[in-house]
Structure 1
Amino acid sequence: MCRSALRPTPDLRSLVLAGASLFALAPLVPSAPAQAQEATAPRRGVGNPPAEASVQLETLTVEGRAGPASPVASGVGARAIESPTGPVDGYVATRSATATKTNTPLIETPQSISVVGREQIDAQKAQTLTQATQYVAGVYSGTFGADSRVDYFTIRGFVASDYGIYRDGLQLLNYGFGTFKAETFGLERIEILRGPAAVLFGAGSPGGIINQITKRPPLDPFGYVEVGGGSFDQKYAAFDVGGPADESGHWFYRLTGFGRSGGTQVDGAPEDRGYIAPAFTYKPDGATKLTVLTSYQYDNTAVTANFLPYSGTVRRNLSGLYIPRSLNLGDAGFNTFRRQQAFAGYEFEHAFDETWTIRQNLRYSFSESFQNSDIGQLGYSNAAETRLARYQFLTSSKIGLFQVDNQAEARFFDGIFKHDLLIGLDYKNFQLHDNQGTNFAAGYAVPDISIINPTYGPATGRPSPYLVNADSFTQLGLYFQDQIKLTDRLTLVLGGRQDFADNRVVDKLTAGAGSNGRSDSAFTYRTALIYNYDFGLAPYVSYSTSFQPLLGTDINNQAFKPETGDQIEGGVKFEPPGAGYFLTLAGFDIHRQNVQTPVPNTFFSSQIGQVRSTGFEAQFTATLAEGLNAVAAYTVYGLTTEKSADPTTLGKVPVNIPENFASLFLDYTIPAGEWRGFGFGGGVRYVGRSYADTANTLRVPEYVLFDAQVHYNWDRWRLAVNATNIADRRFVSSCQSSFSCFYGDARRVVASLAYKW
């Protein structure tokens, strides 16, 4: 039985004392359901409807969650109410539905969370999820460097790019070489929830999750087009149009598209993409809404995260040379990665009355990918360290992922306390067909390659499979959460979840191997307190547990045990009414059990035992003055291997992961005068050292990167030039071992021209 299943549940008497009775339901002050205000506050700026298009105003009260306004904003008067899935007005978000699955103000959420809105994504010209999260506390983006295939990141020191990526509240599983990758132009906001989220989602690492919110149909018509290009001969075009589809005001639509072609910092490696996303909303009345979200995406790229040795990347090799960042270890003819993915689903909501609202979120996700490439990861083949050994790797994967999340929310007053009660039942079914092969299995060798004068030729042969698996994973979860207003200022959050998971792997390569797997169940829970002062200060404390069933088998063909974890977090949030900024400070202590780690020189992982992460984060987001926006973040933590089958790793820091990083980003647009509309800004990113081996004898040094941008807005036009790593610093983002180090992004310059109507 997993550790989290043995933890005591909250005392029933405390629930009774808190007034969690469903027998005396009395509706609170009328309030909008969590999704009822979709597209009500479009941001001002290029690419969205005009600010006056559909802003709804509501007088703020002191009723807390009884109304959509936060109690700390009492006395401010009237202002736009932000939808938790709609646009962020500027950089400073005020609401989110990720941490609680309800429409809750961030200042009332007892957990550390950051929101990156569309305006910030555009200002930074973030073209990947990795780039969009580089100024977020707790998140180290780009763990494996300039990888054009998949977004990699850690949160609070733990890998979260496998089980921790979500889209519209539903998980996107990235297992093995079966992956999904989102087009950021199709996103309205990106929400980073730090700490365990298993009580509501049933999955995710204890470090946290990233939830990507798709653009939805707006209430008012608008249009937007953009063209651009820049480094590595990249060119792109995008469009975004939407609005009412009928005169009765019941149907709304949105169509978003993006296309790109060009290269990467690796010679001969393309980065081409096509993306199209139709969506529509049907609102027959004020209490019911159905939104259908679909998309299709095609990627054509290559392996750009070359697996290179420590000698020659972190430091000079024996010949006094560095391996060029532009070196292609494969060949343009067969260093290939292609993927097509499609999403189709809906979000349904109906409010029966002022108390009860039901929702159903459903999606089917499909991904099919193919890779054929030469890989390093074997070190040098000569004593002078001028030639790299290689092997050929081929994989084809096909994913089908069905998910449905059913929710019932009740907002009521039991005579003593106010409640926002959420009850849910969710289900996921993940099917993966996984085929992996190498030249080793086929019995032939791949020629080595010179780092000084590389020569290329056709593929030596066709890899033979060493693994042909059919993976099946299902999970059913029943959860509840109650946000209880003990006073007008003090909120208690209680939540619990029971999960049932089944993981099966069918070996289709080995005759008579049959299937292997396991079934697991666990109870997880969360309890938290937050107190909201009138002047915007909100201290909070929380304790939560996590449960993550793991897919697949280890090198011994044994099914993985589920990961479990627990965290205690304490912090303070500060959002003074009308000040235009939001500050979050958080301290945490996380224990994660059954942690996976790669087995050197294989494609398999093992479970090493327990890792602890203890640290501190600070996140500051602000509109400091008219036209001036700022984002600052700082993170420091200590990672320690506390239990392991390998005694040499005890007390050591896991590889790949820096434990200290900080960032600052500023953007200013002149609001008046002759230079009105002209803007400029930039950012600085610091990343501390990490380790390249489990014994912590090989260090990957710290680095500092600088970004900059200039832009000009006039009428409906916007011209911008963005540059990241403007000094073109050569740096290693991390090393997985002494044979597997990864170069980070080279300088990237993008010029863009946009028009809106």
Structure 2
Amino acid sequence: MSCLHLDLAQLQNDLLRARLLSSPHVRLLRSWLILSISPVQSQPLRSNSPGGLLNLVSKRPSAVRLREIQLQTGSFGRAQAAFDLSGPVDPNGRILYRLTGLARTTGTQVDYLEEDRVFIAPSVTFRPDADTSLTILSQYLHIDSPGGGAPQGLPTLGTLYSNSKERIPTRRFIGEPNYDRFKLDQGFIGYAFEHRFNDVWTVRQNLRFSHVEADTQRVQAIGLAANGRTLSRYAWAFPERSNLFNVDNQAEARFLTGPFAHMLLFGADYLREDARYDESELRVVPSVDIFAPAYAGTVTRPPLGTRITQGRNQTGLYAQDEIRFSAFTLTLSGRQDWADAVTRTRTATSGALTQVRQNDAAFTGRVGLSYLFDGGLAPYVSYATSFQPTSGTDRLGSPFAPTTGEQIEAGIKVQPPGTNLLLTGAVFDLTQQNVLTPDSADFRFNTQAGQARVRGVELEAKASLTDSLDLIASYAGMSSKFTKMNANAAGVSIVGNELPFVPRHQAAAWLDYTVRTGTLAGLGLGAGVRCIGTSVGDNANLYRTPVVTLVDAAIRYDFGYRYPALKGVDMAVNAMNLFDKIHVTTCIAATGCFYGNRQTILATLRYRW
């Protein structure tokens, strides 16, 4: 089983590792399509998978002055400093600013794998009047990671399965210390404009330009010899860059037609992406003893093997009407997409060039209905379809077909009046076509596996048991399988197999206690358990990770409770995997196993004023 608590640090590590290996952990992330008891701002029907997307919201300027600095240290030599400053520039509050930044240097549980990170995000909002605002947003991220940016895949023998020699240490680095490296420079600039004409009409335009450059060079495993010790390896390099432009124009109207209250939203968006991927040739390098590695010392970067350039356009028109009548809320949405792409693949040795053009179009929509009872009970039901062009190519240089899908969901939310209790439950049936999964023949790449289906149930409870004690608990049970196989797929049929990275069960619970009176006032304690259920890591279901249970804990102290002069100063110590349980998170191939995070303790000192 696995917790539903979102660990952003782990998520970032997973995403980074996935990107480096060109084999992202494809998870069917779900979202509530019909939001809830309280009204929310209507959002356009985005072009994304039916399970939803991870909504990372940029920090925006605040009309209330904000000052915060943080210092953090902890496991693996971590040293981090961060700040977040915001507030009005002029006395009338017509110009607001925000400046967020972070600098970090840290080691990891893997030898020779380190990371230096710098992040800065300035933004400014202009509000000439109460009905108009323009926010300019920008962001820059730089990562330099000796060791390749993420752990390399380890053999199944000695990690997932017992090795007659011993267990492979979690610190084991199987690359080359003087060769493996990952560098990333990522930036964007854009704006969000909004103008309210009257009580009915509001228009918005959001625009952004992004640029990403990444350079990866790594030494990775080929296979483990019969002696269970000698690991053969190869070196490769994968520099890539991408420019992305997108703009979204929308108009919103709020009006009444008899007893019906409408929030009508319609608009048009456009996206252009130009990307280049350089795949080096593979070069065999000296083998190492997995239990006592002696590194080669000098590895040269292999020459260019294949260069892939891809340009794609996507245009969408959408409309949504959220209709409220009495206690009913009905949401109707529709979206039409047109997408085209040109993919050029050039082989460096022969100079051969292949070009593939794609043109796709699809109509998608969703419908949802909810009802709010007087006692805080809100059942809902929804149906949604999706269309999502997929960038990139497989290991043969063929571009990916768009991913399509549909989702049916029904659920209930309960928030009794006068209580601090929220209970939610949902059942869902989600189907996707052309699902991306790791290619078992070369897990640096993806392949499209056909059609997959996930059915499940989700339960969550949030409650304040007393004025000082809070509880969050959640459970998800999922059944997944491939229902169709693409015609061009090779090998034994995977129809009926489980999807990679979809645990059968997930569960978590967290208790938090705050001392509010007495000599210990300001002290907070928290503890929780996460259970990660069994899951497979490959389409053939050859590698299954076992159930693991992890414990987390936290302690914090707000100095301002007892010492007014220190108001705004607090300190927290967080421990993840408190009992340092060694576990394997996933295995995607015979030499593609990854350990989970060992015990990690972080201490953070914060000052807000």
Tell me: CA distance 1:693–1:369, structure 2 relative to 1, closer, same or farther (3 Å): closer
Choose from 204, 210, 223 the match for 2:54.
210
Letter in 1 for 2:448: Q
Is 1:392 aligned to residue 244 of structure 2? no
Give the conservation status (yes or no) of the 8 Å contact 1:705–1:725: yes
SS of equivalent to 1:390: strand
SS of equivalent to 1:128: helix
Is 1:383 aligned to residue 219 of structure 2? no
Is 1:620 aligned to residue 465 of structure 2? no
Q: Distance in 2 between matches of 1:115 and 1:411?
A: 36
Alignment match, 2:497: 652
SS of equivalent to 2:337: strand
Q: Distance in 2 between matches of 1:312 and 1:745?
A: 17
Alignment match, 2:335: 497
Task: After TM superposition, give the deviation of residue 274 of structure 1 in Å.
Answer: 0.7
Is 1:745 aligned to residue 597 of structure 2? yes
Task: After TM superposition, give the deviation of residue 147 of structure 1 in Å.
Answer: 9.2
Which runs of structure 2 are paired with 1:496-535 in the superposition (5 Å)?
A: 496-509=334-347, 511-535=351-375
Task: After TM superposition, give the deviation of residue 582 of structure 1 in Å.
Answer: 2.3
Tell me: CA distance 1:151–1:712, structure 2 relative to 1, closer, same or farther (3 Å): farther
SS of equivalent to 1:232: helix
Choose from 247, 252, 258 the match for 1:404.
247
Post-superposition Cα deviations, 1:517-555, rounded to whole Å, max 9, x if no partner, equal 201000001111100111111100011111111223334
Letter in 2 for 1:299: I
Q: Distance in 2 between matches of 1:275 and 1:633?
A: 33
Give the conservation status (yes or no) of the 8 Å contact 1:130–1:152: no
SS of equivalent to 2:134: strand
Alignment match, 2:40: none
Letter in 2 for 1:587: V
Post-superposition Cα deviations, 1:434-475, rounded to whole Å, max 9, x if no partner, equal 1111334xxxx2111112211223333221222211111211
Is 1:328 aligned to residue 173 of structure 2? yes
Query: What is the TM-score when the length of structure 1 is the normalising length?
Result: 0.73
Choose from 98, 101, 105 the match for 1:254.
98
Q: Distance in 1 between matches of 2:529 and 2:161?
A: 24
Give the conservation status (yes or no) of the 8 Å contact 2:155–2:223: yes
Is 1:436 aligned to residue 279 of structure 2? yes
Give the conservation status (yes or no) of the 8 Å contact 1:655–1:737: no
Give the conservation status (yes or no) of the 8 Å contact 1:622–1:630: yes
SS of equivalent to 2:174: coil
Post-superposition Cα deviations, 1:256-299, rounded to whole Å, max 9, x if no partner, equal 11111120111111121111111111111111111111111111
Alignment match, 1:312: 158
Is 1:630 aligned to residue 454 of structure 2? no
Alignment match, 1:357: 202
Alignment match, 1:542: 382
Alignment match, 2:38: none
Alignment match, 1:567: 407
Task: After TM superposition, give the deviation of residue 612 of structure 1 in Å.
Answer: 0.8
Tell me: CA distance 1:429–1:365, structure 2 relative to 1, closer, same or farther (3 Å): same
Tell me: CA distance 1:290–1:409, structure 2 relative to 1, closer, same or farther (3 Å): same
Q: Distance in 2 between matches of 1:573 and 1:544?
A: 20
Q: CA RMSD in A?
A: 2.6
Choose from 558, 565, 573 the match for 1:721.
573
Give the conservation status (yes or no) of the 8 Å contact 2:509–2:528: yes
Alignment match, 1:288: 132
Alignment match, 2:142: 298
Q: Distance in 1 between matches of 2:302 and 2:128?
A: 56
Tell me: CA distance 1:746–1:149, structure 2 relative to 1, closer, same or farther (3 Å): farther
Q: Distance in 1 between matches of 2:21 and 2:346?
A: 27
Give the conservation status (yes or no) of the 8 Å contact 2:18–2:25: no
Alignment match, 2:512: 667
Alignment match, 1:137: none
Query: What is the TM-score when the length of structure 2 is the normalising length?
Result: 0.90
SS of equivalent to 2:56: strand
Which runs of structure 2 are paired with 1:125-204 in the superposition (5 Å)?
A: 128=9, 130=11, 142=14, 155=27, 158=28, 193-194=31-32, 200-204=44-48
Q: Distance in 2 between matches of 1:142 and 1:682?
A: 24
Give the conservation status (yes or no) of the 8 Å contact 1:142–1:744: no
Q: Distance in 1 between matches of 2:430 and 2:577?
A: 33
Tell me: CA distance 1:388–1:497, structure 2 relative to 1, closer, same or farther (3 Å): same
Paired residue total: 584
Give the conservation status (yes or no) of the 8 Å contact 2:320–2:334: yes
Q: Distance in 1 between matches of 2:467 and 2:598?
A: 33
SS of equivalent to 1:507: strand
Letter in 2 for 1:655: P
Q: Distance in 2 between matches of 1:218 and 1:149?
A: 39
Give the conservation status (yes or no) of the 8 Å contact 1:690–1:699: yes
Alignment match, 1:81: none
Give the conservation status (yes or no) of the 8 Å contact 2:17–2:149: no
Give the conservation status (yes or no) of the 8 Å contact 1:656–1:735: no
Letter in 1 for 2:402: P
Greater fraction strand? 2
Task: After TM superposition, give the deviation of residue 366 of structure 1 in Å.
Answer: 1.4
SS of equivalent to 2:128: strand
Alignment match, 1:478: 317
Letter in 2 for 1:484: I
Is 1:606 aligned to residue 447 of structure 2? yes
Alignment match, 2:533: 688
Alignment match, 2:433: 593
